[in-house]
Amino acid sequence: MGKNKDRKKKGAAVQKTATKAKKKTEKELQKQIEQLGEENIEQLITKHAGKDNAIEAVVIEEPTQNPPSRRANVSFTEHPLKDELILFGGEFFDGRTTILFNDLYIYDIKKQHWKRVQTPQPPPPRSSHQAVSVPMRDGELWMFGGEYTSPSQSQFYHYNDLYVLHLSTLRWEKQVTDSNGPSGRSGHRMATTKRKLFLFGGFQDYITTFRYFNDLYSFCLDTFQWTQLKPMGQLPTPRSAAPIVTSQDGSTLFIIGGYSKETDDKGVVHTDVFALTQGIIFIK
C-alpha cells in the first residue's frame, strides 16, 4: 500500500510540474505576441474573411504565365472530368514571417498553362488541409480542415469546416453539417469511394500542447451527413500524414505509415499498413 501511495504522490508531483511549465510557456508566448503587436488569431482570420467578402459575386478566370508563388502544404487535386489539376491554399515561410494563402489555381495538363480563379467567398487561408474530387453533379472538389498560422508562428488555429467547390461554376459553398463530424485538425488524409468521403487521423498542435488522432469518419455525398466509424480489430495508433487509398472495387480502405510526436522533440515515422474491410474490421 505504501508503494502505491508513493507512486501516486510522485505522479501528482510530475503532473503539477508539467502544468506549471505549460502555464509559464503560455505566459511567455502571450508576452511575445503582445511585444510583436500581433492581433488575436481569430481577428486575423476575420480580417481575411472581410477582404474575401468584398470580392464581386462573379468568377474571374485569369490565364497567367507564372505558376503559383512558392508555398508548401497545399492541396493539389485532379479534376474528375477534365485534364486539369486544382491547387488551393498553402503557406510560405521566408525565415521570419509566415504567409497563408487561399487562392485557387487550375493547371491545364494539355495546354500546360495555369489560370488563377477569383471566386466570391472562398474558404479562409489555410495549409495542411485535404481535398478530394468526385464526378458527381458535374464535378465537385471537397475540402476539410487545415490550419491557420499567425505571421509570427506563435498562434495556430485548426479548422473543422467542410467546403465544396462546384467545378461547373467554380463557386465555393460551405457545408452546414451536423455535430457528428471530425474535430478541427491538420495533417489528416481523405479518400473517396462509393459516393462517400473517408477521413482518417490528423493532429492539433498549439505549441504548448499537441494531440494526434486515429479516428475514422465517413461523409455521405447524398445525405451530407458525417458518421464516425468504430471498426473492430487492431486500430492504427494516432498519427498524421498517413495516406489512405481504396481498392479498385471500393471494398477495402488502406492506411499506410504516417507520423506522430511522442514528445516536443521526439517523433515517430510509422511504417505499418492497415486494411479496413467491409467498413468494420481493421487488419494489420
Q: What tens digit of pLDDT does each residue of 123-141 get?
A: 999 999 999 999 999 999 9
**Residue 179: CB partners within 8 Å, gap ≥ 6?**
none
In angstroms, the CA 60 to CA 112 distance is 20
Instruction: Indicate whether 18 belongs to any domain.
Output: no
Same domain for 245 and 263: yes
Domain closes at, from 152, 176, 200: 176
Sign of CA dihedral 6, 8, 10, 13: negative
Q: What is the mean pLDDT of residues 182-191?
A: 96
CA distances (Å), origin 119, targets 6, 83, 103, 190, 275 = 63, 21, 9, 24, 39
Secondary structure in 3-state letters for 207-271: CCCEEEEEEEEEEECCCCCEEEECCEECCCCCCECCCEEECCCCCEEEEEEEEEEEECCEEEEEE
The yes-or-no verdict on residue 16 having pLDDT over 50 is: no
Same domain, yes or no: 158 and 205: no
Mean pLDDT over 77-89 rounds to: 97
Q: Are 80 and 139 in contact (CB under 8 A)?
A: yes
Residue 160 has pLDDT above 90, yes or no: yes
Answer yes or no: do 126 and 139 share one domain: yes
- Structurally, the chain folds into a number of domains equal to 2
- For residues 164 and 86, give the distance between their C-alpha atoms in angstroms, rounded to a whole number: 13
- CATH of residue 220: 2.120.10.80
Q: Identify whether residues 277 and 247 lie together within a single domain.
A: yes
27 inside domain: no
Pairing of strands 171-174, 252-263: unpaired
Q: Is it the case that residue 61 has pLDDT exceeding 70? A: yes
Residue 15 lies in a domain: no
- Position 122 confidence tier, pLDDT thresholds 50, 70, 90: very high
From start to end of 94-184, where are the E strands?
Answer: 98-108, 113-118, 130-134, 140-144, 147-149, 156-158, 162-166, 171-174
In this prediction, residue 250 carries a pLDDT of: 87
Instruction: Please give the residue range of the domain that contains residue 84.
Output: 35-176
